[in-house]
A and B are shown apart, each in its own frame.
Chain A
């Protein structure tokens, strides 16, 4: 966006320099030049409006959750949850575990993440044959989750 505007302003400045140096351009021609440049800039701005409106604006926030809403497992300490909203769906992420949940409703997205964490831990807590990635994640789960 800035590049397009800079380009337009440079064109305007170049025209001004040319007319000042040779001093031969008539007022009406100079006015036409400025008008043409303004029209070009207006078109550039319209292009910018169209291109930015096509990109969904994503909002982000960070919260902590203190519970997994489970009768069996409890959190030893609160864990961070990143929530992003793109105008359509909320995605709740835990970046340490690299797990997520989603929904059109924020609290349901967080509950979906809780479900993901619980399933993940229940599936893997007693498993011995894990790859390096999952070994690290289960180790972290054992630091933050305990069985009631």
Chain B
């Protein structure tokens, strides 16, 4: 799996993952003001090395197909939240 840091940043921005500052490894996905998931940030430019893109995907708790949809845009934040709800990671309203 290939993923460059710009693509990762696009996913992070789309999912509105909050990040304190560039010195920190992790940001958090929030929903209804609750922190839900930690997501690793890769700083710098270029491709994420080796198997790191797959770790990034796993930290988002999505399968390969959903990750491709996140990367290529069809999957929105709302759609992603639905996936997390179906996995029991966010309480259903």
B34 and A99: CB pair below 8 A?
Answer: no
Q: What's the tally of chain A residues with a CB closer than 8 Å to chain B?
A: 30
B55 and A131: CB pair below 8 A?
Answer: no
Residue of A56, A86, A93 most packed against chain B (CB within 10 A) = A86
With contacts defined as CB atoms under 8 Å apart, how many contacts are there between chain A and chain B in the complex? 74
Interface residue from A104, A116, A123, A134 paired with B37 (Cβ < 8 Å): A134
Main SS of the interface on chain B? mixed
A56 and B36: CB pair below 8 A?
Answer: no
Interface residue from B20, B31, B52, B59 paired with A131 (Cβ < 8 Å): B31
Q: Contact residue range for chain B? A: 20 to 34
Check if B65 is an interface residue, CB within 8 A of chain A.
Answer: no
Q: How far is the CA of A102 from the CA of B59 in the complex (A)?
A: 14
Check if B4 is an interface residue, CB within 8 A of chain A.
Answer: no
Interface residue from B35, B49, B50, B91 paired with A124 (Cβ < 8 Å): B35
A131 and B51: CB pair below 8 A?
Answer: no
* CB-defined contacts of B51 to chain A, threshold 8 Å: 56, 58, 84, 86, 89, 91
Of residues 55 through 76 on chain B, the ones whose CB sits less than 8 Å from some CB of chain A are 55, 58-59
Q: What residues of chain B have their CB less than 8 Å away from a CB belonging to chain A? A: 20, 24-26, 28, 31, 33-38, 40, 49-52, 55, 58-59, 88-91
7 A-B contacts (beta carbon < 8 Å) = A88-B49, A99-B26, A100-B55, A102-B49, A119-B25, A123-B28, A131-B35
